[in-house]
Amino acid sequence: MVPTYKRVLLKLSGESLMGDKSFGFDTSVISQFAQDIKQITDIGVEVAIVIGGGNIYRGMNEAETGIERAHGDYMGMLATVINGMALQAGLEKVGVYTRLLSAIKMEQIAEPYIRRRAMRHVEKGRVVIFGAGTGNPYFTTDTAGSLRAIEINADVILKGTRVDGIYSADPEKDPAAVKFDTITFTECISKNLKVMDMTAFTLCMENNLPIIVFNMNKPGNLLKVVTGDHVGTLVTG
């Protein structure tokens, strides 16, 4: 089996780890993700991962919580490190070598993010998990995913979601929503399709980095994506 993409950045939401729960993470989901990631590393794909923190902490309305935005964003960054550690444990349980790198220094549990070190780990076949977003408030983990993908020269961003691609409307709310197999960056903008936040999306567009949006919760989909099957929606220039 020959992969279409040699090096990928897998972007996962924190919510994707919850399964059917309303908070935290479901160990069966982590096990499934670990097996899917192992499948693609076994055929020689180099993998880096950025994961969100929304299952533990989501930035809330400052007026309601009294927590200022920057302070709340740092709390969210810490949540991504917890998720990164959980995914790391799941991967190592199935025999995948990993490294957790954090944009905020916390040497006891993660290496500090250094671009050259990250690239060396990836080249050696280790799965690199990037925690703590960009290390800066006011930036989402989508932006962190785009930034890290560009920094490590990834071939594509694989955005794993609960839906099987990009639709003209929310398929969970509108049964008439139409799925796109391929779409351009400019079409996404003109149709106001929320693939990622605008900062993350513009980074990908300016650097001609393709995005594939697909359903990560379906076992085997990740392998299909990296071997060129038409799964999900491809966004290109």
DSSP string, 95-148: T--EEEEESS--TTTSEEP-HHHHHHHHHTTPEEEEESTTSSTT--HHHHHHHH
At 61, is the pLDDT very low, low, confident or very high (cuts 50, 70, 90)? low
Contact between residue 55 and residue 29 where contact means Cβ atoms under 8 Å apart: no
Write the DSSP symbol of residue 224.
H
Percent of the chain with pLDDT over 70: 99
Tokens at residue 124, please? 């050696």
Write the DSSP symbol of residue 173.
T
3 Cβ contact partners less than 8 Å away, ≥ 6 residues apart:
40, 43, 44, 45, 226, 227
Give me the amino acid identity at 186: T
Distance CA 86, CA 208 (A): 32
Cα-Cα-Cα-Cα dihedral sign, residues 90, 92, 93, 94: positive
Contact between residue 231 and residue 224 where contact means Cβ atoms under 8 Å apart: yes
SS3 139: coil
By residue count, the chain amounts to: 237
Tokens at residue 11, please? 């972007």
Domain boundaries, the chain: 7-236
Mean pLDDT calculated for residue range 119-136: 97
Lowest mean pLDDT of 51-60, 84-93, 199-208, name the range: 51-60
Q: What is the pTM of this model?
A: 0.95
pLDDT tens for 200-229 read 999 999 999 999 999 999 999 999 999 999
Distance CA 88, CA 60 (A): 27
User: 69-93 vs 27-41: helix axis angle to the nearest 10?
Assistant: 70
Mean pLDDT calculated for residue range 161-190: 92
Distance CA 76, CA 17 (A): 15
SS3 73: helix
Query: In CATH, what class is 7-236?
Result: alpha beta
Distance CA 40, CA 87 (A): 16
Q: Which residues partner with 184 through β-bridges?
A: 236
At 30, is the pLDDT very low, low, confident or very high (cuts 50, 70, 90)? very high
Contact between residue 76 and residue 132 where contact means Cβ atoms under 8 Å apart: no
Which one is predicted more confidently, 113 or 170? 113
pLDDT exceeds 80 at position 49: yes
Beta strand 179-180 with 98-102 is unpaired
